[in-house]
Chain A
């Protein structure tokens, strides 16, 4: 019976633990898959409160789909689409439900003398003005607010308040109960649809999107109408479809390419099977760690995680090349450990990054590589292999030639390094490093969907619309701050403002209104008008309308739309449109801690800039860690010599990427950190084993496989993934050429071989 060593037994125990945890997370874990790229980005750090409030207030926006139908048979098309949508589970046609005017008036009756419009306040100074106002209102051909409230509020301040309050919140006309927008003599019939997109699978998003798009196409054809649609749903469905496609395609292509290479080199299926086994274990480790540490697993994390294949295969190649040679796996154990340790340290810096994506990728890679390392070191040597893994002689011959070339390069390393430094320096001086953090450059939605969004924004008048969010510890403070903001906004001409303040003033403002009415009543300002109507009425004592009371009334849906309570705090939003906010207003808002403009693309771009700077600091930190590790292990001179190709490769990759793409972004910097991690492995192996054929072969195979994997990512249509892949691929090529420069000199190399293994390898 075969006896197993302690390391192997421990390996099996921990493998079982990881598999059990993985199965538990798969079956009972609370994690879910996330597809929105913006969800990966940090919330506005200086206003965490505002960010939370915005998420709470605008979460419904992600569920909204808007359809605009135009053409001769628009109404018939609209009705049929509405009927079909009613039959879909999870998709809801949101019919306009207007509250009964009589209910609204009855609700406000107890507060009738606490509400005034600014215009009515101005009238209070003159009996004549008040009388003219009342007569003007009463002679209107039809004003349901006047008709309905005359009996309970004959001063008509309530009718004026409700009419103006509701009108200011109403953006659109209606026809036969349908919202309409007229643009260039063409009427568009607007259908709001709500899609239940909370916590369901990616497949369901795609299903909803497909269901709706099929119906839109059918309705367009059947009724010969033009149909425009917009909504986050369609972008999510498209991007998730694209990510899934890329993940499966790229994953399969890179895996097949790498496996083919193994077959060519070793002419045996054993290394293929072993490599697949190590990869599977690495993936299980990586995924288990991510779903354990994070509530969400982003699809983009999985796309980036394809790179794990390249690094894991690197370990496998070192193991396969050395397993049946002198010293076996023990000879590379130190280099593997050191490589993993330094790489993990590099990634560990990312865990503390505020970008969730970086954190997820780092955790996935660290734990995936740990799984691969443990498997290579403890499982592979214990496996009973019928046939030893041997490199084909022809491969050794090719490696020998490559080794000669690398030795030549190594002999001229000072010249090559100097030349590269000069070239990089001149390039940077001539063509400045150009970073562009605009999030819109990373948008991968199809042009048709983006055009639809633009057309819908124009139609609905959202082009210059902005949402301003206010947060406060209580509802009264919230409403008072809103009134301060509204007063500021009123100073800009042409600005249209929508806010709940037109129907729910603060208690302080209501008290002030009540006081004004009392004062005007005492001065007999209402008496002539009331007398001419044959009516008498006195001003009520103050009774405040609170948010709690408002929430119990017929306009509760409006309160829900504009005001949100979260974590014992309150938030509301005010919408401006018609013209962009002027610089004075923007500056004023930026000075307020509790008021902020909701500008997601702007905020994300600003966040990207901020975190790009943070990444540069992290990058410097990682370089320092690597330098320390290398200097400790190999001495100051060799340590710095090892650092040189790493830095030169990263710099060259970045500059070449800029030359190809025109600019750099945060994902190129992320790629640099990965280049660093991969390059460390190569440099450590060259430093540990010099330019031995085994090392050259293992690193060559690793570099080819990594370049294949990352080269595939450069073909992605997602700009973030594409720029990442391109930089890493270029970086790997540079590292492959430059890392051998750090190896000990040829004479030293032979001495080293003799010293370590008692002979010089052929």
Chain B
């Protein structure tokens, strides 16, 4: 019996070591980005639909403040905005019609955390792994609701997130190049939109 317990103890110890080794990429990944708290910048987005020969490109501005929320503003080819405030997610179309979007706040929050490089927060909802080929961090959703939409999110860059790829379950993918700068306070217009 004592022998059996010793073997069991050894097995548990070994498996703990193996788990620690498996977790190490995640720990490295966490150190890869310095999370931004208040930032502004621009983006270039290319959406690759499996049924379309060419990607759909768009450009726009990003504003985020971890305390206030997040604005994803598409300016070209047509205006639209996605605004994540404390009380929920809103969309604004090119006719300036504002709509409250239910049950998509978590996806928007993920996007904000991904762009800001807040991998620690993301690790609650995603399993992290490192793509050694391109020095990117891959996020695989743990949550079933997110997994229905998003297969994997890839974050690449040094210091801040510079390139982001969303792999959807439908087979389509969205590639986003981001240029971000940390600032002390968001512009007044952006603050007004978030309050």
Residues of A within 8 A of B (CB): 98, 100-102, 132, 135-136, 138-142, 144, 147-148, 150-151, 154, 167, 170-177, 182, 185, 533-535
Among A135, A154, A173, contact of B88 (Cβ-Cβ < 8 Å) = A173
Q: Could you tell me if B94 and A136 are in contact, using CB atoms closer than 8 angstroms?
A: yes
Among B53, B72, B102, contact of A534 (Cβ-Cβ < 8 Å) = B53
User: What is the minimal beta-carbon distance from A543 to any residue of chain B, in angstroms?
Assistant: 22
Give Cα A174 to B108, complex, Å.
12
Give Cα A167 to B103, complex, Å.
8
Contact partners of A136 in chain B: CB under 8 A = 78, 80, 93-94
Contact partners of A139 in chain B: CB under 8 A = 45, 47, 56, 58, 74, 77-78, 80
Q: Could you tell me if B103 and A176 are in contact, using CB atoms closer than 8 angstroms?
A: no
Cβ-based interface call for B5 (8 A): no
- Known pairs A98-B145, A144-B168. 8 more at Cβ < 8 A? A100-B148, A139-B45, A139-B56, A139-B74, A144-B169, A151-B50, A182-B86, A533-B52
Q: How many residues of B contact A (CB 8 A)?
A: 42
Q: A147-B49, A174-B145, A535-B51 are in contact. Are A132 and B94 (CB under 8 A)?
A: yes
CB-based closest 7 A-B pairs: A139-B58, A147-B170, A151-B51, A170-B102, A138-B56, A147-B172, A144-B149
Q: A101-B148, A177-B144 are in contact. Are A148 and B103 (CB under 8 A)?
A: no
Q: Which residue of B lies closest to A144 (CB)?
A: B149
Contact partners of A100 in chain B: CB under 8 A = 148
Cβ-based interface call for B101 (8 A): yes
Contact partners of A144 in chain B: CB under 8 A = 148-149, 168-170
A-B contacts, 21 of them at CB < 8 A, read: A98-B148, A101-B148, A135-B78, A136-B78, A136-B94, A138-B47, A138-B49, A139-B58, A141-B174, A142-B107, A142-B111, A144-B170, A147-B49, A147-B170, A170-B103, A172-B102, A173-B88, A174-B103, A174-B145, A176-B125, A534-B54
Cβ-based interface call for B188 (8 A): no
Q: Could you tell me if A142 and B145 are in contact, using CB atoms closer than 8 angstroms?
A: no
Q: Which residue of B lies closest to A171 (CB)?
A: B102
Q: Could you tell me if A167 and B56 are in contact, using CB atoms closer than 8 angstroms?
A: no
B45, B103, B174 — which one has the most chain A CB atoms within 10 A of its CB?
B103
Give Cα A332 to B95, complex, Å.
92
Contact partners of A167 in chain B: CB under 8 A = 101-103
Q: Could you tell me if B170 and A102 are in contact, using CB atoms closer than 8 angstroms?
A: yes
Contact partners of B45 in chain A: CB under 8 A = 139, 141
Contact partners of B87 in chain A: CB under 8 A = 182
Q: Could you tell me if A174 and B106 are in contact, using CB atoms closer than 8 angstroms?
A: yes
Q: Could you tell me if A185 and B78 are in contact, using CB atoms closer than 8 angstroms?
A: no
Q: Could you tell me if B149 and A172 are in contact, using CB atoms closer than 8 angstroms?
A: no
User: What is the minimal beta-carbon distance from B88 to any residue of chain A, in angstroms?
Assistant: 7
Q: Which residue of A lies closest to B88 (CB)?
A: A173
Q: Which residue of A lies closest to B107 (CB)?
A: A142
Q: Which residue of A lies closest to B55 (CB)?
A: A138
Q: A141-B72, A142-B149, A185-B86 are in contact. Are A132 and B78 (CB under 8 A)?
A: yes
Contact partners of B78 in chain A: CB under 8 A = 132, 135-136, 139
Q: Which residue of A lies closest to B51 (CB)?
A: A151
Contact partners of A98 in chain B: CB under 8 A = 145, 148
Residues of B123-160 contacting chain A, CB below 8 A: 125, 143-145, 148-150
Contact partners of A170 in chain B: CB under 8 A = 102-103
Contact partners of B25 in chain A: CB under 8 A = none
Contact partners of B176 in chain A: CB under 8 A = 141
Contact partners of B103 in chain A: CB under 8 A = 167, 170, 172-174
Cβ-based interface call for B180 (8 A): no
Cβ-based interface call for B194 (8 A): no
Cβ-based interface call for B161 (8 A): no
Q: Could you tell me if B106 and A175 are in contact, using CB atoms closer than 8 angstroms?
A: yes
Cβ-based interface call for B82 (8 A): yes
